[in-house]
C-alpha cells in the first residue's frame, strides 16, 4: 500500500506508538567525546527525533509480521511537511505476539509493551560508533515478573518522572507500582468493567482511571485511596483521560466522551473535581486522544481516520487533516517540543503532522483581494465622479 499524504507504511497494522526520549538513551561515543574535547565543539550532529511503533497481524499464518520498529524523522526540506524515514532504524520481531499497547519510560529505561498474555519490557540501547542513529531494541525476559501472565493490559502509563507505573487490564484489574522496584502502591482487583485509559498528574499526586462503565475514578497516590468519582451525564460514554498543566502551573483534567452522535471533550477542576467546561468537537467516534507536553494543545483522532489539533484554552481547531489515514486512528502522540503530532492507524501507516498554524509569506490572499476591490472602486469613482455628484441632492 502506498503511503497516504505524508504517511509512511511499515508493513503491519500499527496499534501503538510513542516518541523516544533520545537525550536519555543515545550517548555520544568515546571517540566523538574525545574529538569534541579537542576541537571544543561537537563533531557529529545530534540524532533526529525518533519514534517506536508496535503492531502486527496477530497469531496464525496471516503473513503479516508482529514487530516493534524504531523510525527516525527525515530532515524536512524548506517548506516540506515533516515525515518519517521509509527505512527503519531498527526492527524487532515479536514472534506470535502482537504488541497492542506501549508506554515509554521518560528517562529511557525502556518500552513497556502489552501483549495478549501479559507485559514485557524492551530495552533501548545505543550502540558504539559514530552514527547518531545507532539504536537497538532488546527484549528483557527477566524484568516485570509481576506482569508476565496478567492478560491483556488495555492501558499503560509511566508518571512524568518515571517513578510510578500503572497498568489497567481487559479484566478490569488495576495495578500501580513504584518503578523500578515494582512495589505495589495500589491494586484494585478485576471488576465487570475493563480499564479503558489512565493518566498521572504531572506532580505525581493523582491517577485518574476510566473504565468501560461507571464514573472516572481519581486515586491519591500518597494515601493509595480513591478520593473522587467523576460522574457521567445522561448518555455519556467516557473514553480517554489526560492531565494537563496550565501556564500558571495549575492542572486541569480532560476527558473525552461520546454522547449520541457527538464526540466531546470535558474539562475538570483538579481541586474540587467538578466540571468546568465541555465542548462538542466531532460527529465521529473518538479513537485516540493526546495532550501536548506544553499544555497548549489537544489532539483527537477518529474512527474515520481524521485528526484534529485544538487549542486547550478555547478548544478552537488549529489544524485538521480529513482522512489522514484510511483506517481507524489508533494512537496520537505529541513530540517533546509540542511542534509535531504522531498518528498511526490500522492501515499500517504512521504520519507526522506539524502542529504549528500555517503562516503566510508576505501579503495574504484576502488582503490582496480587498486591495483589488478598493482599487476598482476608486477607479470607478474617478471615472464617474461628475455623474455621481449630479445625483446627490443640492
**Alpha-carbon gap, residue 235 to 263, rounded angstroms:** 12
Give 292-333 as a 3 state SS string.
Answer: CCCCCEEEEEECCCCEEEEECCCCCEEEEECCCCCCCEEEEE
Rg of the chain taking only CA atoms, in angstroms = 25
If you write DSSP's letter for every residue of 56-117 in order, what string do you get? ---SSS-SPPPEEEEEEEEPPPTTPPPEE-SS-SEEEE-TT----EEEE-TTSS-EEEEETT
Could you report the per-residue pLDDT of 318-375, keeping only the tens digit for each? 999 999 999 999 999 999 999 999 999 999 999 999 998 654 444 445 555 666 777 7
**Residue 260: which of 240, 283, 292, 232 has the closest Cα?**
283
pLDDT score at 361 = 41
Other C-beta atoms within 10 Å of 81: how many? 13
pLDDT at 43: 54
Instruction: Give pLDDT, residue 126.
Output: 81
pLDDT attached to residue 31? 56
Residue 192's pLDDT is 82
What are the grid coordinates assigned to 169, written together? 487490564
Is the Cβ–Cβ distance between 69 and 88 less than 8 Å? yes
What's the pLDDT at 132?
56
CA dist 224 and 187 (Å) reads 9
First to last CA, the chain: 76
What 367-375 contacts at long range (C-beta under 8 Å, 24+ apart), as own/partner pairs, is: none
Give pLDDT, residue 295.
95
pLDDT score of 184: 97
Contact 47, 24 (CB under 8 A): no
Q: Give the rounded distance of the alpha carbon of 101 from its chain centre.
A: 13
Q: Could you count the other beta carbons within 10 Å of the beta carbon of residue 26?
A: 22
Neighbours of 79 (CB within 10 A): 6
User: Phi and psi of 137, rounded to 5°?
Assistant: -110, 135
Q: Is 141 exposed, middle or buried (0-12, 13-18, 19+ CB in 10 A)?
A: exposed
The whole-angstrom separation of Cα 54 and Cα 379 is 64
Residue 46: per-residue pLDDT = 80
Q: Which one, of 221, 206, 215, lies nearest residue 233 by Cα? A: 215
Beta bridge partners of 334: 341
Query: Are the beta carbons of 309 and 298 closer than 8 angstroms?
Result: yes
Question: So what's the pLDDT on residue 118?
Answer: 96
Query: Going by C-beta distance under 8 Å and a sequence separation of 6 or more, which residues neighbour residue 252?
Result: 243, 244, 246, 267, 268, 269, 270, 276, 312
Side-chain half-sphere CA neighbours of 55 within 13 A: 23
Q: Name the CA dihedral angle for 230, 235, 237, 241, rounded to a multiple of 10 degrees.
A: -40
Q: How high is the pLDDT of residue 360?
A: 41
pLDDT per residue over 189-226, tens digit each?
977 899 999 999 999 999 999 999 989 999 999 999 99
pTM: 0.86
Cα 253 to chain center, whole Å? 16
**pLDDT beneath 70: ranges in the chain:** 1-6, 27-44, 60-61, 76-79, 128-133, 357-371, 377-394
pLDDT value for 390: 58
Amino acid at each position: 500500500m502506498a503511503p497516504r499524504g505524508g504517511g509512511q507504511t511499515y508493513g503491519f497494522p500499527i496499534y501503538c506508538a510513542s516518541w523516544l526520549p533520545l537525550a536519555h538513551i543515545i550517548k555520544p561515543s568515546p571517540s566523538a567525546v574525545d574529538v569534541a574535547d579537542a576541537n571544543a565543539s561537537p563533531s557529529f550532529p545530534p540524532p533526529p527525533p525518533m519514534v517506536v511503533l508496535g503492531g502486527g497481524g496477530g497469531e496464525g499464518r496471516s503473513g503479516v509480521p508482529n514487530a516493534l520498529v524504531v523510525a527516525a524523522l527525515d530532515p524536512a526540506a524548506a517548506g516540506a511537511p515533516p515525515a518519517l524515514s521509509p527505512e527503519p532504524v531498527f526492527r524487532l520481531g515479536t514472534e506470535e505476539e502482537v504488541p497492542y499497547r506501549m508506554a515509554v519510560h521518560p528517562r529511557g529505561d525502556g518500552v513497556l509493551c502489552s501483549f495478549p498474555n501479559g507485559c514485557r519490557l524492551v530495552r533501548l540501547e545505543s550502540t558504539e560508533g559514530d552514527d547518531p542513529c545507532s539504536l537497538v531494541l532488546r527484549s528483557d525476559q527477566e524484568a516485570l515478573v509481576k506482569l508476565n501472565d496478567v492478560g491483556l493490559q488495555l492501558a499503560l502509563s509511566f508518571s512524568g518522572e518515571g517513578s510510578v507505573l500503572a497498568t489497567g487490564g481487559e479484566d478490569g484489574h488495576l495495578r500501580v507500582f513504584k518503578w523500578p522496584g515494582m512495589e505495589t502502591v495500589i491494586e484494585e482487583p478485576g471488576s465487570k468493567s475493563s480499564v479503558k485509559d489512565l493518566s498521572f498528574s504531572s506532580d505525581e499526586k493523582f491517577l485518574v482511571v476510566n473504565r468501560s462503565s461507571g464514573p472516572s475514578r481519581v486515586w491519591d497516590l500518597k494515601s493509595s485511596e480513591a478520593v473522587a468519582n467523576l460522574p457521567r451525564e445522561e448518555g455519556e460514554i467516557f473514553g480517554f483521560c489526560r492531565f494537563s498543566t496550565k501556564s500558571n502551573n495549575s492542572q486541569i483534567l480532560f476527558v473525552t466522551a461520546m454522547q449520541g452522535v457527538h464526540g466531546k471533550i470535558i474539562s475538570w477542576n483538579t481541586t474540587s473535581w467538578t466540571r468546568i467546561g465541555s465542548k462538542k468537537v466531532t460527529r465521529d467516534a473518538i479513537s485516540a486522544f493526546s495532550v501536548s507536553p506544553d499544555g497548549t494543545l489537544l489532539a483527537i483522532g477518529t474512527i474515520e481516520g481524521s485528526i484534529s489539533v485544538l487549542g486547550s484554552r478555547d478548544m478552537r481547531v488549529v489544524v485538521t487533516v480529513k482522512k489522514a489515514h484510511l483506517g481507524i486512528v489508533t494512537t496520537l502522540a505529541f513530540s517533546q517540543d509540542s511542534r509535531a503530532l504522531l498518528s498511526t492507524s490500522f492501515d499500517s501507516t504512521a504520519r507526522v503532522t506539524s502542529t504549528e498554524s500555517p503562516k503566510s509569506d508576505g501579503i495574504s490572499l484576502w488582503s490582496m483581494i480587498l486591495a483589488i476591490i478598493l482599487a476598482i472602486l476608486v477607479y470607478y469613482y474617478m471615472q464617474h465622479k461628475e455623474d455621481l455628484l449630479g445625483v446627490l441632492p443640492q
